[in-house]
Structure 1
Amino acid sequence: MLASLGRWTANHRMLVLAGWVVIALAGAVFGGSVYDRTQSVDSLRPDVESAVAQARIDRLAPEGERVVAVISGRDFNATALVGDASRVMFEIRAIPGVATVTDAYTAGSGQVSSDNQSSLVTVELKPGLSDDEALAVADRVAAALHRIDAPRVLVGGEVLAERTFGEQAVKDAAIGETVALVVLCVVLAVILGGLIAGSLPLVTALAAVAATLLALNGLAAAMPVSEYAVNVVTLLGLGLAVDYSLLVLTRFREERAADRKAAVPDLLARTVATAGRAVLVSGLAVGAALAGLFAFAEPLLAAMALGGALVVCLATIAGLTLVPALIAVAHARIPAPRNTKSNTRRTSGMLARLAAFAQRRPVLVALGVTAGLVLLSLPLLQVTLANSDARSLPTGSEERLAYEAVERDFAKWTTQPVTVLIEAGKDEPPARDVLARVRELTGEAELDLRSDLPAGVTVVDLRPAGPADGEPAQRLVRQLRALDTTVPVLVAGPAAELIDARESVASRLPIAVAVIVVATAILLFALTGSVVVPVKALCMNVLTLLATLGVLVAVFQWGWGSALLGFEPWGALDLTTPLLLFVFIFGLSMDYEVFLLARIKEEWDRRGDDRAANDQAVLAGITATGPVVTTAALAIGIVFLGFALGDLIAVKEIGVGMTVAVLLDVTVVRGLLLPSVMSLLGAANWWRPGRRRVSG
């Protein structure tokens, strides 16, 4: 079937190209508007306790968005500052959409720093405003605050921080893709021996990304899609499209070198039958990994999984149709591989040399590489996972600076509380009992009881020491949820949300792992006919993942090398980062595993059924496929490094993480660990039920 597809694509090349041109143009014209349709997406399922509690509280006593400002650099009591700031506060109260203004100048809030050099202003907007309306009011408030004659006025708040996050995500994507494409153009032209050959993967990548943006634009009409998801999904699409293009292009050059008299349709039929099979299996493997991501069922991850499934499908289709059509048109301008001395003799590449070394010392190499990867993973034992906030914004952004100033000087007034919802009136015995037991836990004589609530409901705010989602707050949430009460009691707040997110992920992780492992194992079994090879591949992927996450903890949590990468660590990894890397690393590792194993299996089928044949097949397969894997890894590494240059820490974590994973996977795992382990196993690599003979 794949051979027929390759021949048909070659014979109808102009029709295929015309179809892709239409798709790419539609993506270029309409796809970019997906950034105008993105929105903030909850990272929690709506059925977890903290989300249920917060939704109920919002219905009972809705609150609007908040804008916060820190006015600093001049003594709070300076006459000119008091007069100017007071005038601005009254102007802000008159802005339509503003509900309340809390400040130390006109409201007597007392929110002044200990050195009298700064004060805090909190502006609450009216509930019920749409996102656009809230942003418009927030902008007017910010403009008024900036008119205060003070050396420094920092304005922030969640509503402004979210917009800055979205704008920065678009900017980072534009910079990342531009840098990646420019560098890739040069690198691929040099490696593939000419501008025409080097441009084919880039044309495919651009078409795939344009189609992806168009698909995401359609997806945004059906479900919420965040800017972060668009960034990550386009990153994945760009990398996969380049990988698949290189695999098909390299195999075509091999087929042509082996049979120079064959017609182009025949060559492409053989190319798609072999390399196309690897592309198809790889696409299915990455799709299976994304299905595992969807199993977490969190809104953000679900949208990312669906978007990722779209881009994987498009990249796979492009690899099977657009690349052969481009080759059919430009085949005369595609040079022969530089490392081909004849039809059958090649110089050794990096992976081939590493594999030969590993086969000579298989025990030593297998133990050494495994120990090294385990060592790299050790920082993971101290990982801290948290939800990103304004600290994930660029270091110099006003919203982040405002957040840090508030946390430093005004945390006791602004830290979001642990909120307890009691389904009983505050004067009813069940509520009084719960409140008394809460006081025993907190040691506080007074609790911040909310007023103006309907009868039969009590809401109380607690402010434990430390950050809103810090360990003291989390401990209090667990203690509150452990209370044995006669009425329903729900706990909300940042600490509760973080606990719920972790527990939700932990509860669904076995399902996600099962989906990915089972699907990947089945695909690799279908490719190789072996039971042992899939198990080995999964174990290697786990080692790559753990080592990568360990490096990320050292870099982004501990701050090792943060100055070099241009960011300030905030003491944690984003909660979604390990999940996304789990999926992407598994998917891309399967890329290289499939590329290598498909060729190793071809060589094994031709050579025999003993240990010597196994070693020869492994080395021959790696020698033949090593250059394309190395080139693909270099190309996708450039893509991820382009995104690592961005200023959003959450996106930078993904870019750096995937770069590290690709580097580890293609060198120590595929170049050393895979051949050493396959050499140790010998013909047992190819065991399957019903296979009677396993020699040596």
Structure 2
Amino acid sequence: MISPEGDAFILIFKPKDDSKAYEKSLEIKRIVKETLIKHGFYPSYIGVTGEDILGEEMKTTGSKDIKTVNNISMIAPILIALILIGGFVAAGLPFLGIGLSVLLSSAILYVLALLGIVEVTNWSRMLLVTTSFGLGMDYSSYIVLRFKEKIAELKNPSLAAHDALVHSLPAIAAASSTDVIGFAVMMLAWDFPLLASVGKTVPIAILAVLAASLTFTPALLAKFGDKKWFWWPHTVEAGRKPWRGFKLTRGRAIGLILLTIVLGTFGAYGLLTFKGSHDYSVFMPEGTEGYRAYMEFQNTFPAGQLMPVYVVGEVSHGTVWDPVVMSNIRKLAEEIENIPGVIEVRGPHNPGTKPKELYVGSDNKTFYLEIIIEPSPLSREGVDLVKNIRDAVHKYRSDTFRRLLIGGIAATSMEIEELLNKDFWQKIFPVGLVLMWLAMTLSFMSVWAGIIPLITITVGYMIGVTLASKIPGLYGEPALWFLPLMTFPAVLGVGMDYNSFYMNRQREELGKIAGKPGAGYIASTNAIHAVSHLVVGLGLIVTATYSALILGSSWGVRELGIALAGGVFVTTILAAIIFTPAILSIMGEKAWWPYSRRWKK
């Protein structure tokens, strides 16, 4: 292949030994360079790329990225757990429960897979571990902190463990039920076995970690919670001052709600103007041989020439070579060429440099058209153009053709996007929201308990997607089309957890002073002092884990890290110290109707 300007060319080859394809490809590059120089040509650039090169480089850099993420994922939770809980042994308690739950859920899934009931993919196995770790830290830490608060008062570890479990149960029940629902609704995407597998396997892991948190954690606290070595180097003392936080007044609450509105407006603008690309080159590790060669190829050769759009047709009678049929093929090609952005349509009517027979099937009844477009087929503009081509082809009416189909890499990627968006926004999203609202309402016996968390989650989600689209854009990198789909489940899961933890404590504090003037503001302030530092700490653990992705070798991984870390962090802050405390303080007892009727009796 020669460039349009005639100043560059491409050699296509396939190494014989696949096991050494990477080394062989680099050797061929060296031979080509030496040969050109030997004959008096001094090229400004010679590079090599392709499936073998990129695959090996992505494998190498991917291993480094995973190692970095794992290191941060291990160090950050340990440090934050030590700060939140205090005591080396006590801080390690959640990790013991997590380990047991992973073993239990893995054993259950192993048996179910052997029986052919579920299919366990590599992706679902990875999510099983990460989800167990994240939720296990949430559930167990919440109980441990409540125990630490009560042991100083009751002095009896058994009573303190019982009290901690009883008062933590509503929040953990609400959080776990919404977590299970959030993953289980993915079974509705039965057209995509990968997502369906996640929907069948991860809920089992959540139930296992829930069981460990509600049994193993309280049991160890009851047994060892009064031992000095358990909390070393700290001690559990009566009258220990809670986190100071801040005092909520009506003016501050209104200010915090206005701040949420501003953040929501910014996020909504970013989400509504989001234009995702299908350019998967963002997953190529930067600075590698294959990446540089691919970029050079993109800049030198028309992208549409490398990845043309295809139209495959079948004639209803006669053969492709019949004059009437060929005339209709020409008219169809002219219709397509009239679409802005289409450079050329090749086929049996206009074969270009190829023999026209190559565009016709062996039965002489099928044919294909090769459509060269101006924008990159996998860019947002390219995918939109492919949609226009598809619409024009489907609208074309002629008795000559039995059927006309559109294909190619861009068309396939476009249809995957359409199908996945349809499954997500029309099935997974609405069903999940309704069931989560119902779960929160039943757990807290309040119709508002499911609405308030969804507001914080929606704002955090929109901010995460906005950051992931705008920041790469500053560096000229496109945002991936599936970022909104991957961000929402993660933000939804932790958002429900953190809102549940704060709301449970606010309801408890409000029940103590219900009916008093300003009770809502006092209860929200006390809840901030008691648990907001825990919620923020747990949120920072997840944020730090996702932030490690920003250190990845490719922009695709970095974009995921920005979206997930940004969304989780904003949702955490809104749930712990901004929107949820503010709205609950203003609404007072009304926020807990019909549960609040108990306080009046």
Q: TM bucket by the smaller chain? A: 0.7 to 0.9
Q: Distance in 2 between matches of 1:454 and 1:323?
A: 70
Q: Distance in 1 between matches of 2:178 and 2:233?
A: 29
Aligned to 2:320: 426
C-alpha distance 438-445 of structure 1, shift in aligned 2 (>3 A): closer
- Alpha-carbon contact 1:541-1:585 (below 8 Å) kept: yes
Q: Distance in 2 between matches of 1:174 and 1:691?
A: 53
Is the counterpart of residue 587 in structure 1 residue 500 in structure 2? no
203, 211, 230: which one aligns with 1:334: 230
Aligned to 1:4: none
C-alpha distance 374-415 of structure 1, shift in aligned 2 (>3 A): same
C-alpha distance 483-394 of structure 1, shift in aligned 2 (>3 A): same
Is the counterpart of residue 384 in structure 1 residue 275 in structure 2? yes
C-alpha distance 434-606 of structure 1, shift in aligned 2 (>3 A): farther
516, 523, 530: which one aligns with 2:432: 516
Aligned to 2:206: 312
Aligned to 2:140: 245
What is the correspondence of 1:370-449 to structure 2 with a 5 Å cutoff? 370-387=261-278, 389-411=280-302, 414-424=305-315, 425-427=319-321, 429=324, 433-442=328-337, 444=344, 446-447=346-347
- Alpha-carbon contact 2:304-2:372 (below 8 Å) kept: no
C-alpha distance 655-615 of structure 1, shift in aligned 2 (>3 A): same
Aligned-partner SS, 1:575 = coil
Aligned to 1:457: 366
Aligned-partner SS, 1:459 = strand
Amino acid of the residue matched to residue 258 of structure 1? Answer: E
Q: Distance in 1 between matches of 2:265 and 2:470?
A: 14
C-alpha distance 677-525 of structure 1, shift in aligned 2 (>3 A): same
Aligned to 1:529: 445
- Alpha-carbon contact 1:420-1:492 (below 8 Å) kept: yes
Aligned-partner SS, 1:533 = coil
- Alpha-carbon contact 1:438-1:480 (below 8 Å) kept: no
- Alpha-carbon contact 1:363-1:676 (below 8 Å) kept: yes
Aligned to 1:484: 397
1:73-121 C-alpha deviation (Å, 9 max, x unpaired): xxxxxxxxxxxxxxxxxxxxxxxxxxxxxxxxxxxx4x258474x5312
- Alpha-carbon contact 2:286-2:554 (below 8 Å) kept: no
Aligned to 1:563: none
Q: Distance in 1 between matches of 2:330 and 2:209?
A: 57
Q: Distance in 1 between matches of 2:297 and 2:113?
A: 35
- Alpha-carbon contact 1:391-1:400 (below 8 Å) kept: no
Aligned to 1:642: 548
Q: Distance in 1 between matches of 2:178 and 2:572?
A: 18
- Alpha-carbon contact 2:186-2:196 (below 8 Å) kept: yes
What is the correspondence of 1:627-638 to structure 2 with a 5 Å cutoff? 627-638=533-544
Aligned to 1:33: none
449, 455, 459: which one aligns with 1:543: 459
Q: Distance in 1 between matches of 2:212 and 2:488?
A: 25
Figure out how many residues of one structure are paired with residues of the other and give that number: 560
Unpaired segments ≥5 residues, structure 1: 1-108, 126-132, 560-568
Q: Distance in 1 between matches of 2:54 and 2:250?
A: 54
Which deviates further from its counterpart, 307-316 or 465-474?
A: 307-316
Aligned-partner SS, 1:463 = strand
- Alpha-carbon contact 2:437-2:451 (below 8 Å) kept: yes
Q: Distance in 2 between matches of 1:515 and 1:637?
A: 27
Q: Distance in 1 between matches of 2:48 and 2:110?
A: 32
Which deviates further from its counterpart, 526-535 or 174-183?
A: 174-183
C-alpha distance 328-680 of structure 1, shift in aligned 2 (>3 A): closer
- Alpha-carbon contact 1:610-1:683 (below 8 Å) kept: no
167, 174, 181: which one aligns with 1:274: 167
- Alpha-carbon contact 1:278-1:594 (below 8 Å) kept: yes
Question: TM-score of the superposition, structure 2-length normalised?
Answer: 0.81
State the percentage of identical aligned residues. 18
Q: Distance in 1 between matches of 2:434 and 2:345?
A: 55
Aligned to 1:500: 415
Aligned to 2:376: 467
Q: Distance in 1 between matches of 2:574 and 2:167?
A: 26
1:380-401 C-alpha deviation (Å, 9 max, x unpaired): 3332213352332221233322
Instruction: Report how far residue 441 of structure 1 moved.
Output: 2.0
C-alpha distance 263-537 of structure 1, shift in aligned 2 (>3 A): closer
Tell me the C-alpha RMSD between the 2 structures: 3.7
C-alpha distance 687-280 of structure 1, shift in aligned 2 (>3 A): closer
Unpaired segments ≥5 residues, structure 2: 35-44, 339-343
1:320-348 C-alpha deviation (Å, 9 max, x unpaired): 344345545653233399798735x7334
Q: Distance in 1 between matches of 2:497 and 2:410?
A: 39
Instruction: Report how far residue 179 of structure 1 moved.
Output: 2.2
Aligned to 1:369: 260
Aligned to 1:53: none
C-alpha distance 378-187 of structure 1, shift in aligned 2 (>3 A): same
Q: Distance in 2 between matches of 1:676 and 1:206?
A: 37
- Alpha-carbon contact 1:358-1:672 (below 8 Å) kept: no
1:288-341 C-alpha deviation (Å, 9 max, x unpaired): 112344434434433444454354344333423443455456532333997987
Q: Distance in 1 between matches of 2:516 and 2:142?
A: 29
Amino acid of the residue matched to residue 262 of structure 2? Answer: A
Q: Distance in 2 between matches of 1:383 and 1:328?
A: 51
Aligned to 2:73: 180
Which deviates further from its counterpart, 515-524 or 188-197?
A: 188-197
Aligned to 1:31: none
C-alpha distance 610-134 of structure 1, shift in aligned 2 (>3 A): farther
C-alpha distance 482-580 of structure 1, shift in aligned 2 (>3 A): same
Aligned-partner SS, 2:373 = coil
Instruction: Report how far residue 582 of structure 1 moved.
Output: 0.7
Instruction: Report how far residue 588 of structure 1 moved.
Output: 0.6
C-alpha distance 414-322 of structure 1, shift in aligned 2 (>3 A): farther
Is the counterpart of residue 123 in structure 1 residue 2 in structure 2? no
Amino acid of the residue matched to residue 319 of structure 1? Answer: S
Question: TM-score of the superposition, structure 1-length normalised?
Answer: 0.71
Amino acid of the residue matched to residue 399 of structure 1? Answer: G
Amino acid of the residue matched to residue 376 of structure 2? Answer: P
Amino acid of the residue matched to residue 278 of structure 1? Answer: A
Q: Distance in 2 between matches of 1:181 and 1:578?
A: 27
- Alpha-carbon contact 1:293-1:583 (below 8 Å) kept: no
Amino acid of the residue matched to residue 289 of structure 2? Answer: E
What is the correspondence of 1:636-675 to structure 2 with a 5 Å cutoff? 636-675=542-581
Aligned-partner SS, 1:387 = coil
- Alpha-carbon contact 1:212-1:237 (below 8 Å) kept: no
- Alpha-carbon contact 2:88-2:231 (below 8 Å) kept: no
- Alpha-carbon contact 1:687-1:694 (below 8 Å) kept: no
Q: Distance in 2 between matches of 1:339 and 1:619?
A: 26
Q: Distance in 1 between matches of 2:326 and 2:599?
A: 74
